[in-house]
Structure 1
Amino acid sequence: MRNNWWKKAVIYQVYPKSFCDSNADGIGDLNGIKSKLPYLKELGVDAIWLSPIYLSPQVDNGYDVQDYYKIDPMFGTNEEMYALIERAHEMGIKVIMDFVANHTSDQAYWFQESRKSRTNPYSDYYIWRDAGPNGEAPNNWGSNFGGSAWTWDETRQQYYLHYYASEQPDLNWENPKVRQAIYDVMKFWKEKGVDGWRLDVITSISKDTNFPDNPQPLTTSNQQNGPRMHEFLHELNKNVFTPYDMMTVGEAPASKAADASLLVDPKREELDMVFTFEHMHIDRKENDINGRWALQKPNFVELKSTLSEWQKQLRDRGWNALYFENHDRARVISRWGNDTKYRYESATAFATVLHGLQGTPFIYQGEEIGMTNADYSLADYDDIELKGNYQFFVKEQKTISEADFLKAVGKVSRDHARTPMQWNVSKNAGFSEATPWLKVNSNYKEINVDADRLSTKSIFKYYQKLIQLRHREEILTKGSYELLLADHPSLFVYRRKLKDKTWLVVANLTDTTQTFNVSEFIKGDYKFILKNYAKPESSPALRPFEAYIIEY
């Protein structure tokens, strides 16, 4: 019988490069994380998920792995990782590692060997194809970072496939030796005490080996959920996840609620949870050539519909992973909320909505103090995706103006999540004594851990209460879910029910007062379980970003 500890857990994502620098080199590290475990214990989280810390050239901030067995010296040593795991366990905190199984770095030994010839032992570890009649790429598939998904290799005289940067060649999961190599790495880290895995773009591991063209050149529509995906995931589960009792959450970019149970239904023995992208696209123009940079006003009716459909489809057939922020997502209050006048209110409103749902909530570092997007100029950004897309869409394709692109970047660039953690008012926000690898957000003197915990409107303390509710109240993990006011453009209202207990979760997701009369939903007495305004409004209304949970 597996231990499903994660169903009552709250997991905190650490982006190691930006969390805490212990050796004054401008880069966060493992000893820095270890020094902050008491802070995470105080917050109340059950586990930490570490973004990749393996040896890497850092072309894509560690998602280009050179050696899965070795910790990158910028973060520390293997022994320091083992010590971090041991200390976390002593404090009752589990450790989740990020695993990149779809691709490696082009500097990995496997790839360096693979490119040497078509007959060596590693020749079939990656996806190689001959050029077309005129030297062209094998098909019109696109990279998620812009341009073609194929790069010509002079040494081997073939193209190799890469869904991301050309320095991130995709592994060939059709090769059983590749799969076994992956299992061996996971078993190694399990022996060191790791409790589970976040699996990067895991639904991309199977490719359609017929390599059909995409309807639109240099897009990615035929490149997800390949024909052997479920087979590979089941095999992973049988070889590693179940026998070693490891929690798994897979990044599943193309997953929809209707088919998500195929990935997470326990009877199928694949994954425990998946991260969907669906609810994070409510401010993206559908099918626009400029992808994530084509923005619109957030559609909260769509947000409610999507999250509710996931609640419905996975009820008794799997488990939800709940998030608004991670290392790939900008700060939600800057993106959909109000990060100035109503920063506390919007941070706690979005948190209330998310943590009231059935599933495992994930908190991204800084989310618990209401960190915001940075006020950067183009030169301040570091992200390879942004730079590649700028070159492709603005300079080459000319499908979006530079002004519109930069406006979108200010809302959704991944670097907004990667700015150094803001601990206090000291130099570089207390993150490092040296110049940080990425510029600190200029608002760190107003927004930091020390200031927030002393504030009468502390986001940290609100998160503590949400986490305590998750641990204490079975209604959150087992209760039914019912969406109310489905078509209201501004209010997110839903009901959770378990036995004779009923909760109403209410949030105004706008900065304008909305008419709302709780007596239309509740007859008789009720009590507040949690609220983000000190005093209830006397009139039937919800103030800007007002949120609460009531029991009746």
Structure 2
Amino acid sequence: MEKKWWKESVVYQIYPRSFCDSNGDGIGDIRGITSKLDYLKELGIDVIWLSPVYQSPNDDNGYDISDYQAIMEEFGTMEDFDEMLAAAHERGIRLVMDLVVNHTSDEHRWFVESRKSTDNPYRDYYIWRPAKDGKEPNNWGSCFSGPAWEYDSETDMYYLHLFSKKQPDLNWDNPAVREEVFQMMNWWLDKGVDGFRMDVISLISKKPDLPDGIPGINGYASFNEPANGPHVHEYLQEMREKVLNRADTITVGECSGVTLEEAKKYARSDGRELNMVFQFEHMDVDADGTNKWSEKKMDLRDLKNVMTRWQKGLEDIAWNSLFWENHDQPRSVSRFGNDGRYREASAKMLATCLYMMQGTPYIYQGQELGMTNVPFENIEDFRDLDSINAYHELTGQGVFSKEEMMRFLRYKSRDNARTPFQWNDKENAGFTSGTPWIMVNPNYKEINAQEQLARDDSVFHYFQKLIRLRKEHEVIVYGTYDLLLPDSKEIYAYTRTLGETKLLVVCNFTAEQAEFEMPGEFLDGKILIRNYDEPKASGKDDISSSENGSAELKNPMMLMPYEAVAVIV
């Protein structure tokens, strides 16, 4: 397998609005990020993925861009950005921009011109259609509820918006649009950025006839309906030729609706398109059918099936990205672990389980502290357009009661990941001296970076060790993956193999003890990492300390609640 620096890197996602506020206006900013680069250096990460900082009316928290080559005033200036980039590079940290080019803001100058007339030079920069039978051109739904079409009286036509109505979709079939995008990307590469995370890039090519799709819970077809269109790979190969080959970039595509077969095209090792993709099948293991708004808990067997299919399916063909969290997902310790008594143990276990797999790890800000979901009390506490729209639409239609919907939002809302980073136990968790733009999670006095940096057995230091182990042991990066115990509802166990080196990873996903019969070849192995410092009394002589301080492994092994252990031979 070909070795690449981006395969050996660990990426840390920063959501600027919630990371660190340097000027007391309640909104995180670029200078705040610069002030915390030493923290990230200590953690050991190699790359920052920066969520959008471009000029934006902020309808969708910066993912509605009105100027790709300007910085949002709330975040600072281009000079601030240049200083941050230089400071990151001085610390050996690369920086990836969030590329949002499926759509723009409706306040972007291209769209302002496009809507003026049908013969405007910018008209075909976007997707316009006449009404069909007196209604929208098709039944596609917006990601943020309602139809994916907005009527514009100026020209008596509808424009497509797979997200907010203030986020009109670009028409990538127009060569002029692609040239504009490529020029802008080259401008950022000339500035010195190191690559791009590409927002919903699988949606840029639509089927020419825009066919109806299968209606979902609200009567509209999923916004994933247009995913993986007929020209998407052609356009990405053009991007590779005209932009990405100019520098040694890292690229990851957010690919809504991507299948394993499609991912092999997006991220194949021949380097014609992207380095890797974000797929979301494992984010749907706790969905209630096509409805994400529920409190359903996952079946571990479903998770193992999905993760294993992607690990084995991309083996020697393409590359995986590894994530539990991002700005669009709730906190993983509340979702897949235990955010009460076993919060730290389960946060460490989830990290062990995922980051020992093959692929590039992505850590979302606060995940390395085991930050949790938030006890929002009412809909006014939310800022996320998706959550607010879904609440009003689904309660208004009588699909869910207000009480039900609030429970679902507390479990699944994107705002769970967007509350301020918890730096210390001072006012507003040390995030701002002003009034935060969104509420601070009240548990910041117990869960914060200052406390964890000072404690050797903290979640932070565990993440730090996991990152270090990936750099010390090639088997963690390049070894092949094989699942053990596919039918276990409690234990996720797998091996990694590289030449003569083998690694065993065993994780208990429950709050109960679980028995595991270790394969004989690992009984003489060395424990690389485990999330319980000392063997706990379990009624089983599963691990005993030897004179040199390492552990002697015995069968059967009795795993403690949410225990994780990795053994190398």
Shorter-chain TM-score range: over 0.9
After superposition, what is the alpha-carbon deviation per residue over 1:507-541, rounded to whole angstroms, capped at 9, x for unaligned? 001111112232x4546412110010012353531
Report the Cα distance in structure 1 between the residues aligned to 2:560 and 2:408, rounded to whole angstroms. 28
After superposition, what is the alpha-carbon deviation per residue over 1:166-202, rounded to whole angstroms, capped at 9, x for unaligned? 0000000010000000001100100111000000000
What is aligned with 2:552?
A: none
Kept after mapping to 1: 8 A contact 2:504/2:522: no
1:269 alignment partner, one of 267, 272, 276:
272
Q: Does 1:244 align with 2:243?
A: no
Q: Does 1:310 align with 2:327?
A: no
Kept after mapping to 2: 8 A contact 1:150/1:161: yes
My pick for the range that moved more, 455-464 or 166-175, is 455-464
Kept after mapping to 1: 8 A contact 2:352/2:466: yes
Kept after mapping to 2: 8 A contact 1:373/1:411: yes
Where in structure 2 are the equivalents of 1:358-369 lying within 5 Å? 358-369=358-369
After superposition, what is the alpha-carbon deviation per residue over 1:451-509, rounded to whole angstroms, capped at 9, x for unaligned? 11223531110011111111121101211111000110111100011122111101001
Kept after mapping to 2: 8 A contact 1:3/1:245: no
Tell me how far 1:267 sits from its aligned partner: 2.2
After superposition, what is the alpha-carbon deviation per residue over 1:370-403, rounded to whole angstroms, capped at 9, x for unaligned? 11111111221110001111122221x3222222
Aligned residues: 545
Counterpart code for 1:528: I
Tell me how far 1:268 sits from its aligned partner: 6.0
Kept after mapping to 1: 8 A contact 2:522/2:568: no
Kept after mapping to 2: 8 A contact 1:234/1:268: no
SS in structure 1 opposite 2:6? helix
Q: Does 1:349 align with 2:349?
A: yes
Counterpart code for 1:297: K
SS in structure 2 opposite 1:443? helix
Report the Cα distance in structure 1 between the residues aligned to 2:513 and 2:23, rounded to whole angstroms. 48
What is aligned with 2:116?
A: 116
After superposition, what is the alpha-carbon deviation per residue over 1:291-313, rounded to whole angstroms, capped at 9, x for unaligned? 21034221111111111111111
Kept after mapping to 2: 8 A contact 1:262/1:268: no
What is aligned with 1:541?
A: 558
The percentage of counterpart residues that share the same residue type is 46
SS in structure 1 opposite 2:116? coil
Note the aligned Cα RMSD (angstroms): 1.4
Kept after mapping to 1: 8 A contact 2:198/2:254: yes
Report the Cα distance in structure 1 between the residues aligned to 2:56 and 2:41, rounded to whole angstroms. 30
Tell me how far 1:420 sits from its aligned partner: 0.2
Report the Cα distance in structure 2 between the residues aligned to 1:482 and 1:352, rounded to whole angstroms. 16
Unaligned runs of 5+ in 1: none
After superposition, what is the alpha-carbon deviation per residue over 1:28-56, rounded to whole angstroms, capped at 9, x for unaligned? 00000000000000000001000000000
After superposition, what is the alpha-carbon deviation per residue over 1:422-444, rounded to whole angstroms, capped at 9, x for unaligned? 00011100000000101100000
Change (3 A) 1:533 1:376: same
What is aligned with 2:137?
A: 138
My pick for the range that moved more, 264-273 or 422-431, is 264-273
Report the Cα distance in structure 2 between the residues aligned to 1:3 and 1:85, rounded to whole angstroms. 26
What is aligned with 1:67?
A: 67
Where in structure 2 are the equivalents of 1:251-290 lying within 5 Å? 251-267=254-270, 269-287=272-290
After superposition, what is the alpha-carbon deviation per residue over 1:123-164, rounded to whole angstroms, capped at 9, x for unaligned? 110000111243x11111111110100000111221000000
SS in structure 1 opposite 2:529? strand
Q: Does 1:503 align with 2:506?
A: no
Kept after mapping to 1: 8 A contact 2:295/2:407: no
Report the Cα distance in structure 1 between the residues aligned to 2:365 and 2:23, rounded to whole angstroms. 20
Tell me how far 1:404 sits from its aligned partner: 2.1
Kept after mapping to 2: 8 A contact 1:212/1:222: no
What is aligned with 2:460?
A: 460
Counterpart code for 1:122: Y
Kept after mapping to 1: 8 A contact 2:55/2:65: yes
My pick for the range that moved more, 247-256 or 12-21, is 247-256
What is aligned with 1:12?
A: 12
SS in structure 2 opposite 1:292? coil
What is aligned with 2:551?
A: none
What is aligned with 2:166?
A: 167
Report the Cα distance in structure 2 between the residues aligned to 1:342 and 1:368, rounded to whole angstroms. 15
Where in structure 2 are the equivalents of 1:478-497 lying within 5 Å? 478-497=478-497
Kept after mapping to 2: 8 A contact 1:344/1:457: no
SS in structure 2 opposite 1:88? helix
Unaligned runs of 5+ in 2: 543-556
My pick for the range that moved more, 319-328 or 385-394, is 385-394
Kept after mapping to 1: 8 A contact 2:228/2:262: no
Report the Cα distance in structure 1 between the residues aligned to 2:492 and 2:118, rounded to whole angstroms. 57
SS in structure 1 opposite 2:70? strand
Task: Compute the TM-score of the two structures, normalised by the length of structure 2.
Answer: 0.94
Report the Cα distance in structure 2 between the residues aligned to 1:53 and 1:515, rounded to whole angstroms. 48
Q: Does 1:229 align with 2:246?
A: no
Counterpart code for 2:561: P
SS in structure 2 opposite 1:172? coil
My pick for the range that moved more, 530-539 or 306-315, is 530-539
What is aligned with 2:186?
A: 187
What is aligned with 2:220?
A: 218
My pick for the range that moved more, 211-220 or 465-474, is 211-220
Tell me how far 1:225 sits from its aligned partner: 1.1
Report the Cα distance in structure 1 between the residues aligned to 2:523 and 2:253, rounded to whole angstroms. 44
After superposition, what is the alpha-carbon deviation per residue over 1:343-393, rounded to whole angstroms, capped at 9, x for unaligned? 110000000001100110000000001111111112211100011111222
Report the Cα distance in structure 2 between the residues aligned to 1:18 and 1:268, rounded to whole angstroms. 34
Tell me how far 1:3 sits from its aligned partner: 8.8
Q: Does 1:394 align with 2:395?
A: yes
Report the Cα distance in structure 2 between the residues aligned to 1:521 and 1:484, rounded to whole angstroms. 14
SS in structure 2 opposite 1:410? helix
Report the Cα distance in structure 2 between the residues aligned to 1:312 and 1:542, rounded to whole angstroms. 27
SS in structure 2 opposite 1:318? coil
My pick for the range that moved more, 239-248 or 302-311, is 239-248
What is aligned with 2:44?
A: 44
Tell me how far 1:223 sits from its aligned partner: 1.8
Tell me how far 1:256 sits from its aligned partner: 2.3
What is aligned with 2:553?
A: none
Counterpart code for 1:219: A
SS in structure 2 opposite 1:87? helix
Where in structure 2 are the equivalents of 1:316-335 lying within 5 Å? 316-335=316-335
Task: Compute the TM-score of the two structures, normalised by the length of structure 1.
Answer: 0.97
Report the Cα distance in structure 1 between the residues aligned to 2:106 and 2:68, rounded to whole angstroms. 13
SS in structure 1 opposite 2:433? coil
Counterpart code for 2:383: D
My pick for the range that moved more, 258-267 or 119-128, is 258-267
Kept after mapping to 1: 8 A contact 2:152/2:158: yes
My pick for the range that moved more, 294-303 or 278-287, is 294-303
Kept after mapping to 2: 8 A contact 1:50/1:98: yes
Report the Cα distance in structure 2 between the residues aligned to 1:116 and 1:219, rounded to whole angstroms. 29
